[in-house]
């Protein structure tokens, strides 16, 4: 069951275990999630673009998103029991 009680990482693990996403995409999605959860704008001591959010990170995030959309479109509806 994938519902409101499940964490993002459990959901991404489900996608991996069911062969819906590749190990690489799984890893990138979890990386994006970790980056997102570890960024607290009110705690920044330097400008946002001077920290771990850089051009390379932006490209990695965008590529992971594009790959997720492509994969989900190819796989069709996911039935999570």
> Is 56 part of a structural domain of the chain?
yes
Average pLDDT, the chain: 81
Residues of the domain holding 59: 43-81
Q: 52 Cβ partners below 8 Å, 6+ apart?
A: 35, 39
Distances (CA, A) of 50 to 54, 63, 64: 7, 21, 22
> Is 5 part of a structural domain of the chain?
no
> Is 65 part of a structural domain of the chain?
yes
- Give the CA dihedral 77, 34, 41, 4, nearest 10 degrees: 40
pLDDT bracket for residue 25 (50, 70, 90): very high
> Is 6 part of a structural domain of the chain?
no
Rounded CA gap, 58 and 60, in Å? 5
- The angle subtended at Cα 18 by Cα 24 and Cα 21, nearest 5°, is 25
pLDDT at 48 over 60: no
Q: Please give the residue that has the higher pLDDT: either 67 or 6.
A: 67
């Amino acid at each position: 069951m994938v519902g409101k009680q499940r964490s993002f990482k459990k959901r991404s693990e489900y996608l991996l275990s069911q062969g819906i996403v590749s190990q690489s995409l799984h890893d990138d999605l979890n990386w994006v999630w970790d980056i997102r959860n570890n960024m607290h704008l009110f705690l920044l001591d330097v400008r946002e673009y001077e920290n771990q959010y850089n051009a390379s990170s932006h490209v990695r995030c965008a590529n992971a998103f594009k790959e997720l959309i492509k994969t989900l479109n190819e796989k069709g509806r996911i039935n999570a029991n």
